[in-house]
């Protein structure tokens, strides 16, 4: 377990945060590290990151021990087993079990312990495979998710069901957010588990270093995705926790849709890779299109993405060059 040294000057949300102890599960990870920083900037009284080496959040007794040790007023649940299409296809049972068991037990034990507020961070993978574009929250139950990541998406979706049930029966205060694909510094660049942007950045840079004339990319390139810069996502999570008080789902996104073919060209340009791009159509594209309607987040807690995609991509490439 680690405690954040919140030395930054508090900003606008200080009145809410200055008396609250916040536990951020997954707070040492990619998104979590930025959420911890945003909480410190907002003036949180104390930010605590329970580490998996001390508490296995799949085990009820470990969750209860963590809550007794930390005594949080607010819990932001970011801990998850995540990965790209390859990881989801290779480990569907683990992606379902680990995410379901972490989420539903943690939520229940937080209710039992009297935690004031719980923020669940779900996933765009929960949306139906052929949802209308842009995805609106009301369509979340309109069909089955895309098959390659359905176990993960459905496990995370159960936290929404739980949040609504506990609100109806117990009056539990919680927030449920649906972010799109995230990207930015500190992302996971491991080929076995990375998502599309870090995987492509690494592939382009390593191809250059080895003097290779081409890279091979999964799928046809015709699918589309929306991406949200990780710092913007962290700001949205903190704002929602502070200002919002309803557990109905809320999208977090940038409102920008891009074809994978165009994405690969942008990454090649950003990394300086000038070789050929070969498409492996024997591999899946994943969900055909992804683009969110983000109007609810703006209306309910004033969130809008601020980082342009090209700018965020350049920051990410620069960070990876410096830290790899």
Q: What is the largest CA-CA distance in the chain?
A: 62
The conformation of residue 128, written as its DSSP 8-state character, comes to B
Whether 55 sits among the annotated catalytic residues: the reply is no
The conformation of residue 131, written as its DSSP 8-state character, comes to P
CB atoms within 10 A of CB 6: 19
> Contact 18/73 with Cβ under 8 angstroms?
no
Q: Which of 152, 176, 183, 320 is catalytic?
A: 152
- What phi, psi does 4 have (nearest 5°)? -75, 140
65, with CB counted inside 10 A (0-12, 13-18, 19+), is middle
Q: Which two tokens stand for residue 216?
A: 């091979």
Alpha-carbon span 45 to 202, nearest angstrom = 38
- Give yes or no for a cis peptide into 63 (omega within 30° of 0): no
User: Three-state SS for 229?
Assistant: strand
Catalytic machinery residues: 152
């Amino acid at each position: 377990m680690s405690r954040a040294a919140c030395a930054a000057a508090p900003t606008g949300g200080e009145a809410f945060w200055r008396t609250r102890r916040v536990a951020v599960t997954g707070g040492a990870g990619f998104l979590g590290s930025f959420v911890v920083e945003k909480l410190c900037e907002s003036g949180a009284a104390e930010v605590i990151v329970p580490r998996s080496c001390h508490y296995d959040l799949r085990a009820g007794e470990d969750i209860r021990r963590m809550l007794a040790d930390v005594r949080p007023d607010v819990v932001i649940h970011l801990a998850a087993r995540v990965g790209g299409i390859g990881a989801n296809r290779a480990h569907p049972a683990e992606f379902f079990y680990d995410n379901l068991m972490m989420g539903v037990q943690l939520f229940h034990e937080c209710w039992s312990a009297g935690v004031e507020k719980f923020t669940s961070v779900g996933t765009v993978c929960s949306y139906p495979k052929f949802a209308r574009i842009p995805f609106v929250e009301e369509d979340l139950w309109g069909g089955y998710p895309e098959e390659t990541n359905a176990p993960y998406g459905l496990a995370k979706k159960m936290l929404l069901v739980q949040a609504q049930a506990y609100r109806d029966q117990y009056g539990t205060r919680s927030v449920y957010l649906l972010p799109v694909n995230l990207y930015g510094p500190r992302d996971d660049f491991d080929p076995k588990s990375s998502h599309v942007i870090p995987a492509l950045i690494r592939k382009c840079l390593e191809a250059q270093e080895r003097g290779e004339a081409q890279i091979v990319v999964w799928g046809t390139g015709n699918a589309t995705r929306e991406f949200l810069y990780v710092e913007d996502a962290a700001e949205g999570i903190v704002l929602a926790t502070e200002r919002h008080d309803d557990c109905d789902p809320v999208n977090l996104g940038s409102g920008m849709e891009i074809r994978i073919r165009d994405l690969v060209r942008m990454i090649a340009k950003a990394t300086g890779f000038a070789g050929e791009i070969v498409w492996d159509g024997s591999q899946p594209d994943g969900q055909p299109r992804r683009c969110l309607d983000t109007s609810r987040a703006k209306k309910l807690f004033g969130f809008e993405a601020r980082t342009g995609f090209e700018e965020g991509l350049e920051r990410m490439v620069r960070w990876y060059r410096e830290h790899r």
